[in-house]
Amino acid sequence: MLNTLNDVLNNVDNFIWGMPLIILILFTGILLTVRLRGLQIRHLGKALHYVFHNEDDGEGEVTSFGALCTALSATIGTGNIVGCATAIVAGGPGALFWMWLAALVGTATKYAECLLAVKFRQVDEDGHVVGGPFNYIEHGMGPKWKWLAKIFAFFGIGVGLLGIGTFTQVNSIASAVKNFFDPDMAHTVSLFGGNYSWATVVAGVILTLCVGLVVLGGIQRIAKVSEVIVPFMAVLYVGLAVIIIITNITAVPAALASIVKSAFTGSALAGGAVGSVFVAMQKGVARGIFSNESGLGSAPIAAAAARTKEPVRQGLVSMTGTFIDTIVICTMTGLSIVIAGSWLNPELEGVAITMDAFQKGLPFPSFVATFSLMLCLVFFAFTTILGWNYYGERCVEYLFNRNKGVVMGYRILYILAVFIGPYMTVKAVWNIADIFNALMAFPNLIALLALNGVIVKETRDFHAKHNGSY
């Protein structure tokens, strides 16, 4: 039964994430990069400066830094640790190259969508902000496109409940905890028709309780938790990966050469040359989008809540999320896996691939490496769960006109999804996540293409106002 379900989901995933969507994502990013004259490269320094200099007198519910951390809490997750690993296994080291390319053009996409989110957001008399793709689709493209905005919101709820927000994160946390505390499945219990380690069960229960306590506090509590956890976990993970790279510095040139070469020649493990190049491209772009969420339409929902007067300024702050997520963190993961050769082991799956790379690469006892990665993964995934609860809630608010009863019902469903996450199969979980990602991306990308003129005009006016070069 499970094998049949996995086969069906895999076929659907391959169809949706075919060349049309990949071309649409890359075309949108390239178009915006050209029209914005490579803004994501030329103004990266300015963007990083704005990250640490908040505006105090703008409308919004959280600081610009808080909005970025909320978005990063949702993006820096299992996509960086597990998603990157699964992409390399499926498409070879070349998948990492395509993740870089997707991130490069995706940074312009992230800038554009977050700019639009602030420009078209709505702030009520209580200071409550509702904004995101559903707002700039309806109010930017016009009321006749409201149906497209509703489609986005519907799939946004699906991504939260059945995709990035819950199953993938919880499943990865449970796997990491099990691999550390009970790798041999010595202590098991029968649940839901299968045998599970007590470590998995306990981790699932504790996680569910922690998520429930935070999400019931709304965006302010999520932002406060994210502002503390996100910088800590990012520095810890990057620090560990840097140690791997430094201690294995002689292997880095060969690893980089392998990444670039297999991006265009394919991997023998992934099939024929042409077929494997496509697989590398497909998995690299898909996992890249899954990781940094550029073009997906999620980050704009967090950006809309930022306390700012300048849509362009928040767009610049938000675009640094893609740089941090993929160019920095995913690169660290990918290099570690390629250097260690962990992707070549057919017995490894999911988080076990990255864990093997850390055990081989870190000059520490295996116990320390395993515990460190488990800690990183738990923090990464936990904050992603929090961020996507907020995204889903905003989509629910839009669809149901801020009905508090429906919002509370969504929160309960979300917590239940977290609870059952550990008992989903790895392949099914990732395929479901990919499918919902794609379905959410389509309406948002259409809106970005339709409103690219507005994006360019806002950018030009901002730089003219501040005597900067466009």
**Residue ranges in 248-346 assigned as alpha helix (H):** 252-265, 273-292, 299-303, 311-322, 331-340
Per-residue pLDDT, averaged over 435-464, amounts to 91
Token pair, residue 52, equals 């640490």
7-21, 22-36, 292-306, 455-469 — most confident range: 22-36
User: 421: number of CA atoms within 13 Å, CB side?
Assistant: 36
Domain-located, residue 270? yes
Domain-located, residue 127? yes
Token pair, residue 81, equals 């640790």
Work out how many domains the chain is built from and give that number. 1
Place of tokens 């520490």: 364
Domain-located, residue 258? yes
Domain-located, residue 197? yes
Q: What is the pTM of this model?
A: 0.85
245 Cα distance to chain centroid:
24
On whether the CB atoms of residues 342 and 354 are closer than 8 A, the answer is yes
List, for residues 25-66, the tens digit of each pLDDT value.
889 999 999 999 999 999 988 888 888 877 766 676 777 777
Q: What is the pLDDT of residue 274?
A: 47
Domain-located, residue 470? no
On whether the CB atoms of residues 341 and 91 are closer than 8 A, the answer is no
Mean pLDDT taken over the chain: 83
List, for residues 265-282, the tens digit of each pLDDT value.
766 554 444 456 777 777
Per-residue pLDDT, averaged over 231-241, amounts to 86
Which of 314, 315, 360 has its CA nearest to residue 335? Answer: 360
Domain-located, residue 263? yes
* 64: exposed, middle or buried (Cβ count in 10 Å: 0-12, 13-18, 19+): buried
List, for residues 15-33, the tens digit of each pLDDT value.
776 677 778 888 999 999 9
Measure the CA–CA gap between 207 and 203, rounded to whole angstroms: 6
Token pair, residue 97, equals 């190259």
Q: What is the pLDDT of residue 470?
A: 47
Domain-located, residue 95? yes
Domain-located, residue 273? yes
Q: What is the CATH number of the domain that holds 62?
A: 1.20.1740
Residue 445: band (very low, low, confident or very high) from pLDDT cuts 50, 70, 90: very high
**Which DSSP string do the residues of 179-193 spell out, in sequence order?**
HHH-TT--SEEEETT
Range of the domain at 257: 2-465
Which of 107, 99, 27 has its CA nearest to residue 445? Answer: 27
What is the helix (H) or strand (E) element at residue 243, kind and residue range? helix 218-247
Residue 1 has pLDDT above 70, yes or no: no
Q: What is the pLDDT of residue 32?
A: 96
